[in-house]
Structure 1
Amino acid sequence: MSRKREAEGSSEQRLCTHLGPAPFDSDKAAAIERESQDYSIKITLDMARSGLSPRKVRVYADGIYDLFHQGHARQLMQAKNVFGPRTEVYLLVGCTSDELTNKRKGKTVMSEEERYEAIRHCRYVDEVVRDAPWECDDDFLSFHKIDFVAHDEAPYVTESGSDVYAALKEKGMFVATQRT
């Protein structure tokens, strides 16, 4: 590291080490990564923002990602970098199935397999969760060892009229991205 960077206290820029598409959550590589993380260590927003997390911070972003485009890529870039350069973020991206998407939002142009593949090839993505739920319950968060969920702040209303992300916001597990 140069003396100038040492004096400024900046860290080396992380290099992208992806040599292929991101694994699916059911792949062995994803399971090994998930099991290597000590989820008993609760990462707070302050820890993540200050770069003092004792392990990778697992951030989850979700969506439909039909006709994957630069706005989607920007959303995922924001989620990957939400805590700045001193915090290592492992980005999990959930994509809903055709069945759930058709039920909640309507038909897509791309099939779920095409949408999964498009997401896997985005440089910011570390892992893809297929057939993602519309809402993240505690079992889902615990299984995937998710520390934070990243999404824009607009309320996403359920059939009952409540915000999909309300419980996560109350628990301090929600981080906002800008709508792109």
Structure 2
Amino acid sequence: MSTSTDAETKHEQNVRVWMDGCYDMVHFGHANACRQAKQMGAYLIVGVHSDEEITKHKGPPVFTEQERYKMVRAIKWVDQVVENAPYVTTLETLEEYDCAFCVHGDDITVTADGVDTYHIVKAAGRYRECKRTQGVSTTDLVGRMLLVTKTHHEPDDMLPDAENTRRMSLCKESVSPWTGASQFLATTNKIIQFSNAREPKPGDKVIYTAGAFDLFHVGHVDFLRKVKALGDYLIVGLHGDRIVNRYKGSNHPIMNIHERVLSVLACRYVDEVVIAAPYSVSMDLVNHFKVSLVIHGQTTYEPDVDGNDPYDVPKTLGIFQRVDSENPMTTQDIITRIIGNRLEYEKRNKKKEAKEAAAYEAFQKLKAENRNESTAVNIEQK
């Protein structure tokens, strides 16, 4: 079996690479897998499973298949999306799309019957691995949304230990033997990997828009696509966690500033991100980035803490414009989907955890057997 645990595999010219998955609630972990897969070849094709297939093998997805197809197409490392891809990856699929091999993370994905979905391509030596991004998963994000609290990233000192344990277990995929109990830790290297590393060229029309962009979704994608069409270089300002919580309240943001930065940077329409951008667009910001146009969506926005309009400066300069994404989805809509189906998603999470534990136990047993066989052979040779 040909595998590679090093995501930085040397780029292979003219090689077409296959990757597939559910891509439910597409987040920066999915994007990072695509980034690594793209480095292994020249052209990345991503197969996305249908709602029917996901429901059969894992439980109901949060996003519809059409929403998931659009989200994956927006990831800047993806060259082509194949809709309704089979849940078990076959050699026929690789041949149909002229792909040399399939790439997946260094965990295991199983069918409803507990069968490794990549067993066929592994046996044929046409499988490679990339490193899974620790500290984030769809299970984790669903868990965070099930908590109506501001403390989904850390324990609450006002709650009993047992309740904190229950809450933290909901918002972390801590029982996963493949990823371990790991919170996402941002690094400068990860941001560099996601960045376009491109400055605006002389004469480029620079567009600026800002917001929370929490739980990056298809509404955000449609909005940024329309905004980018108005200029040449798109800068997205991401408000810090405290600012977002001030104007959204409850347990917002669901994703912290570092997670939101990577999610937005992975979008093909975005050129640059301002981390913890000021709520009000100042003259200094406009001059610093040489902004030609400041955009806000059709949603309402709150005054700044001083009571002033955060877009007063660009309005005065005549460079403020509102854009309708023509997509009504909001972050709250996603949360509502989760809360409305709370029991179903909790059941899904538990089912996934049980399957992972069983698969991991079988994997460890096989490793031990192989190790014992190798030891026996070495003794005989001696």
For the aligned pair, the TM-score class normalised by the smaller chain equals: 0.5 to 0.7
Cα deviation 1:71-122 (Å, max 9, x = unaligned): 011111111012xxxxx51000110111222233323111111111100001
Residue 128 of structure 1, CA deviation? 0.9
Work out the CA distance in 1 between the residues paired with 2:319 and 2:269.
20
Equivalent residue number for residue 145 of structure 1: 290
Residue 161 of structure 1, CA deviation? 4.1
Equivalent residue number for residue 43 of structure 1: none
Work out the CA distance in 1 between the residues paired with 2:216 and 2:299.
20
Equivalent residue number for residue 21 of structure 1: 194
Equivalent residue number for residue 318 of structure 2: 172
Equivalent residue number for residue 99 of structure 1: 242
- Structure 2 counterpart of 1:103, one-letter code: R
Cα deviation 1:1-47 (Å, max 9, x = unaligned): xxxxxxxxxxxxxxxxx667334xxxxx45xx25x54xxxxxxxxxx
Residues 209 and 296 in structure 2, CA contact (< 8 A), matched pair in contact too: yes
Equivalent residue number for residue 8 of structure 1: none
Matched-pair identity in %: 33
Work out the CA distance in 2 between the residues paired with 1:77 and 1:120.
13
Work out the CA distance in 2 between the residues paired with 1:78 and 1:70.
12
Residue 162 of structure 1, CA deviation? 3.8
More helix by share: 2
Equivalent residue number for residue 8 of structure 2: none
Cα deviation 1:48-78 (Å, max 9, x = unaligned): xxxxxxx110000111011110001111111
Flag structure 1 segments of 5+ consecutive residues without an equivalent: 1-17, 24-28, 38-54, 83-87
Kindly name which structure, 1 or 2, has the bigger radius of gyration based on alpha carbons.
2
Equivalent residue number for residue 51 of structure 1: none
Work out the CA distance in 1 between the residues paired with 2:310 and 2:210.
12
- Structure 2 counterpart of 1:146, one-letter code: V
- Structure 2 counterpart of 1:60, one-letter code: Y
Residues 149 and 174 in structure 1, CA contact (< 8 A), matched pair in contact too: yes
Residues 155 and 163 in structure 1, CA contact (< 8 A), matched pair in contact too: no
Residues 216 and 260 in structure 2, CA contact (< 8 A), matched pair in contact too: yes
Work out the CA distance in 2 between the residues paired with 1:155 and 1:116.
23
Residue 141 of structure 1, CA deviation? 1.3
Q: Label 1:171 to 1:154 Cα distance change in 2 as closer, same or farther (>3 A).
A: farther
Equivalent residue number for residue 127 of structure 1: 272
Work out the CA distance in 2 between the residues paired with 1:134 and 1:160.
11
Equivalent residue number for residue 67 of structure 1: 215
Q: Is the partner of 1:131 in helix, strand or coil? A: strand
My pick for the range that moved more, 135-144 or 152-161, is 152-161
- Structure 1 counterpart of 2:262, one-letter code: E
Equivalent residue number for residue 115 of structure 1: 260
Q: Is the partner of 1:136 in helix, strand or coil? A: coil
Work out the CA distance in 2 between the residues paired with 1:22 and 1:59.
17
Work out the CA distance in 2 between the residues paired with 1:21 and 1:177.
26
Work out the CA distance in 2 between the residues paired with 1:165 and 1:111.
24
Higher relative contact order (CA 8 A, sep 6+): 1
1:58 and 2:225 matched: no
Q: Label 1:120 to 1:93 Cα distance change in 2 as closer, same or farther (>3 A).
A: same
Residues 65 and 115 in structure 1, CA contact (< 8 A), matched pair in contact too: yes
Residue 163 of structure 1, CA deviation? 2.7
Work out the CA distance in 1 between the residues paired with 2:258 and 2:304.
25
Work out the CA distance in 2 between the residues paired with 1:178 and 1:166.
20
How big is the alpha-carbon RMSD for the aligned residues of Structure 1 and Structure 2?
Answer: 2.4
Flag structure 2 segments of 5+ consecutive residues without an equivalent: 1-75, 78-192, 328-382
Q: Which contiguous aligned blocks of 4+ residues in structure 1 show a shift greater than 6 angstroms?
A: none
Residues 65 and 95 in structure 1, CA contact (< 8 A), matched pair in contact too: yes
Work out the CA distance in 2 between the residues paired with 1:148 and 1:109.
29
- TM-score (ref. length: structure 2): 0.32
